[in-house]
Amino acid sequence: MSENLKFAVIGGGSWATAIAKMLCVNLSEIAWYMRNDAAIEHIQKYKHNPNYLSSVEFDTNKLKLTNNINEAIEYADYVIFAIPSAFLDAELKNLTVSLSNKIIFSAIKGIVPETSLIVGEHFHIQYDIPYYNIGVITGPCHAEEVALERLSYLTIACGDPDKAKVVAKTLSGNYIKAKISDDIIGTEYAAMLKNIYAIAAGIAHGLGYGDNFQSVMMSNGIREMKKFIKKVHKMKRNINDSAYLGDLLVTGYSVFSRNRMFGNMIGKGYTVKSAMMEMSMVAEGYYATKSAYKLNQGYGAKTPIIDAVYAILYEGKDAKTVFKKLTESLD
């Protein structure tokens, strides 16, 4: 079905690299936009991304590499965005070509700060793209495990199931299994929220809490996620499905989780700035925490874990004191 369709990947980070790797298995050519000219030259010469997932080797004959976002988008029928949500609006301001005839899929797990919208809603409201042309690529999956060719699972959500099937088929392979969902808003909010709970898990670990407490917090986290998503978009969904609970668990516990790593550093006493500088990578959950907290002022869901992470990251509260109080509200 997807043999005659053209795909473009927007972004140069680990998820963009992993998606490019998956697409190259089933397609003869893809367009790949990244801002970093040096990275483009390095990939063309040495066949791997020097900054992310450098073990992945590409057949450069399959890559149409460009530092021009308009060139990549003009090339494609399906455009997959895989850049940090904090930088999406700035990138989109460089567009001179229309998105109206494109099918947009987001692998971004966060909220656009400028509009306080999840990415699908941002494209729908700001660019008038119908929901049947917007989709989400979510987990449970880590880019690092894709690079290692370990069995990984994806959830592809779209208002049009046929388009979800196209993307699922194009990304699937020997070590990638993809299933489709019709819960485009719920899965995207879950992908954003689980990063906040992963930061909480990291903070707990950094403070010295053990596995017992973290299991209780993750159990509370999935129930908190259910309450939040139900307020945002009420529909029948099983919160224990892999797209929700599975993605939460892998992000909360994995050694590959940037958000858990970030939280662990905060728990050990790093400032937000110093933790970000040392990681040299974006922890989406940092930005998601502020957005989710502000959104929930209108929704009114009971979210003690999100509130605790917000208090530490944005109000400068002492992590040890905040978590001691949090332990009293969990069950």
- Feature table: binding site: 87, 109, 143, 258-259
CATH number at residue 103: 3.40.50.720
In the predicted structure, residue 1 carries a pLDDT above the cut 50: no
Q: Extract the annotated binding site for NAD(+).
A: 87, 143, 258
Residue from 21, 102, 163, 194 carrying the catalytic annotation: 194
> What's the confidence (pLDDT) of residue 319?
98
Instruction: Name the percent of the chain lying above pLDDT 90.
Output: 85
Write out pLDDT tens, residues 132-181.
Answer: 999 999 989 889 999 999 999 999 999 999 999 999 999 999 999 999 99
Identify whether 2 is part of a domain.
no
**Domain extent at residue 323:** 186-327
1 domain-assigned:
no
Q: Which residues share a beta bridge with 105?
A: 80, 135
Boundary-marking domain end, from 163, 182, 201: 182
CB count within 10 Å of CB 45 equals 10
Q: What mean pLDDT is predicted for residues 221-244?
A: 92
pLDDT at position 4 is 85
Number of folded domains that form the chain: 2
Percentage of residues of the chain with pLDDT beyond 70 = 99
For 81, how many CA atoms within 13 A lie in the half-sphere containing its CB?
Answer: 28
Structure pTM? Answer: 0.91
Residues making up the binding site for substrate: 109, 258-259
Is the pLDDT score of 111 beyond 90?
no
Query: Is 302 labeled as catalytic in the residue annotation?
Result: no
Quick check: 120 and 148 in contact, CB under 8 A?
no
- 254 three-class SS: coil
How many helices, marked H, and strands, marked E, lie in the chain?
Answer: 15, 10
Q: What is the CATH number of the domain that holds 220?
A: 1.10.1040.10
State whether 152 and 269 are in the same domain: no
